[in-house]
Amino acid sequence: MTLKKEPYKRTYPISWEQLHRDSRALAWRLLEYDYFKGIIAITRGGLVPAAIVARELDIRLIDTVCVSSYDWQDQRGEIEILKPVHMDGEGWLLLDDLVDTGKTAKTVREMLPKAHFATVYAKPQGRPLVDTYITEVSQDTWILFPWDAEFQYVQPIVGNR
């Protein structure tokens, strides 16, 4: 019997408040660029950061490129494009929550080679594929986004001895 090797050794939970702060920080960093025609959010993870960045930069035109590549703590090998975008991306901001291994990023970059690619979080393998990001986390960390979690009671540390 072969045990499945878990690719993640750590979990980094992100609260709604932290995601909002980090997305606003990304908007601040993007101010150095003159103008974006609009935002193309990579679904689903890029939707919430796109809404926050759009508000902060007063961008009203938002589109999506719909890609499926993840299951819970299991990175599948294939990338499925559910809804492409038919342009080269010039003048557009391409936005996602995270660049991880770079598989999704490479696929979307090929579709939109002239877009400015920004993510809120970046891991070392995918970082070279994005133009702008806010926070880097280690490759062996699973980022637990608030839309994937719910509040529940946690036993106090003292109670676990």
Catalytic residues: 96-97, 100
Pick from 155, 149, 138: which is nearest to 13 by CA? Answer: 149
Amino acid letter for position 23: S
**DSSP count for the chain of H helices, then E strands:** 3, 8
Give CA–CA dist 42/31, Å, rounded: 21
Burial of 137 (0-12, 13-18, 19+ CB in 10 A): middle
User: CB–CB of 42/106 below 8 Å?
Assistant: no
